């Protein structure tokens, strides 16, 4: 049971925010912050008021049921209403508990997604390409903006590595459970005997960090410039346009050579570096907070096998929640993607609620 005081404080907060926003006496920056806060609380305020009035509503219905002079038809109606009220109260309580869970400050951020071919040679690079196309289609359907940062192609036409920035609403909260090893089982085009091969690709989803999220000192960076070469760099290898940025304290290093401009390469490289450093710090804090707790979902461990795409059986299976969808082609088209994400999010919320008990 949620303490009534907690719900009353939530209702009071909503009322105070409403007064502040309608006063016309707050500056623009504070107005934007309070508007965002009000919007979040406003989504749950009806549930909070319903939850707090439950006991009184229940008493009134029980009063009818215990009244010997009350009409039998009225009693039957009161009995049905009481069952519905109690059922709604349970749902309201769960919604409120989820709302009151500690928020991940990164959930509303944009994201940087990194996909790399893993074990399986050229077939792994083709699978990495399939995954990237899937996220492109999901982005298109959701009207997100996907911007390519870096791409390295394989001889087979697949992708050795691709890094992209995705912008929109609540990007990180939607994609954060995609981090890990994605495994594919299918018959390669080059396989003459029809044998199923297994290969893999790794996906890392990082919250895009702003400069205000993370202070990086110039003295902590070593920046090397060199001539770009290879696929994507052939037209610019006459100048030192490629950039390698090394963050000396952490040892993290990022190379960028896709652009003809050294300045643009440095800007893209810093975006990736900032995201990786931000995620490194978040991971360190999370580990300290949860030393004695292990959850199945949301660890972000890139070495963890999270999903299998089985083409002969036309299925995709998420191993963290034991969910199998027999709609592989649809999934790769971005059609059944939301169903998987919703199931992962619900399971993660259940685990968080269990940890509070």
Note the pLDDT tens digit of each residue in 132-157: 999 999 999 999 999 999 999 998 88
Query: Are the C-beta atoms of 100 and 13 separated by less than 8 Å?
Result: no
What digits encode the pLDDT tens for the residues 92-115?
A: 998 898 888 877 778 889 999 999
Topology, domain 111-208+300-356: Alpha-Beta Plaits (3.30.70)
**Token duo for residue 94:** 């769960």
Q: Is the pLDDT of residue 357 over 90?
A: no
Query: Are the C-beta atoms of 186 and 200 separated by less than 8 Å?
Result: no
Q: In this predicted structure, what is the pLDDT of residue 297?
A: 59
Q: In this predicted structure, what is the pLDDT of residue 228?
A: 73
Report the Cα–Cα distance between both ends of the chain, in Å, rounded: 10
Coil vs helix vs strand at 246: strand
Task: Give the DSSP per-residue string, 258-287.
Answer: SSS-HHHHHHHHHHHHHHHHHHHHHHHHHH
Q: What is the CATH number of domain 218-288?
A: 3.30.160.20
**Token duo for residue 271:** 């975006």
Give the start-to-end residue ranges of the domains of the chain.
4-100, 111-208+300-356, 218-288
What's this model's pTM, rounded to 2 decimal places?
Answer: 0.71
Nearest to 112 by CA among 181, 20, 176: 176
Q: In this predicted structure, what is the pLDDT of residue 301?
A: 54
The sheet carrying 305-310 orders its strands as 145-153, 159-167, 111-117, 197-207, 180-186, 305-310, 315-318, 323-325
């Amino acid at each position: 049971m949620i303490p009534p005081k907690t719900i009353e404080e939530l209702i009071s907060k909503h009322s105070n925010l409403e007064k502040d926003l309608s006063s016309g006496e707050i500056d623009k920056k504070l107005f934007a912050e309070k508007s965002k806060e009000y919007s979040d609380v406003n989504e749950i305020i009806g549930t909070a008021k319903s939850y707090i009035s439950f006991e009184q509503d229940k008493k009134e219905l029980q009063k009818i049921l215990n009244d010997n002079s009350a009409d039998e038809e009225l009693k039957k109606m009161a009995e049905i209403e009481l069952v519905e009220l109690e059922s709604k109260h349970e749902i309201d309580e769960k919604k409120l508990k989820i709302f009151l869970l500690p928020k991940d400050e990164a959930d509303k951020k944009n994201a940087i997604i990194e996909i790399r071919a893993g074990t399986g040679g050229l077939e792994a690079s083709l699978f990495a390409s399939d995954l990237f196309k899937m996220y492109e289609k999901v982005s298109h359907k959701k009207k997100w903006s996907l911007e390519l940062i870096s791409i390295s192609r394989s001889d087979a036409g697949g992708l050795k590595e691709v890094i992209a920035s995705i912008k929109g609403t609540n990007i990180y909260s939607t994609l954060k459970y995609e981090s890990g090893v994605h495994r594919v089982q299918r018959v390669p085009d080059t396989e003459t005997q029809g044998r199923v091969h297994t290969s893999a690709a790794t996906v890392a989803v990082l919250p895009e960090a702003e400069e205000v999220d993370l202070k990086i000192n110039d003295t902590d960076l070593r920046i090397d410039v060199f001539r770009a070469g290879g696929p994507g760099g052939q037209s610019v290898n006459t100048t030192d346009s490629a950039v390698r940025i090394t963050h000396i304290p952490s040892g993290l290093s990022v190379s960028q050579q896709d652009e003809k401009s050294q300045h643009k390469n440095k800007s893209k490289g810093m975006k990736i570096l900032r995201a990786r450093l931000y995620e490194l710090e978040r991971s360190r804090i999370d580990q300290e907070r949860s030393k004695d707790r292990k959850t199945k979902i949301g660890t972000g461990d890139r070495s963890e096998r999270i999903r299998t795409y089985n083409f002969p059986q036309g299925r995709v299976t998420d191993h963290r929640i034991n969910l199998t969808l027999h709609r592989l082609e649809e999934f790769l088209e971005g059609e059944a993607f939301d169903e998987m994400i919703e199931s992962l999010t619900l399971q993660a919320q259940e685990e968080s609620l269990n940890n509070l008990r």
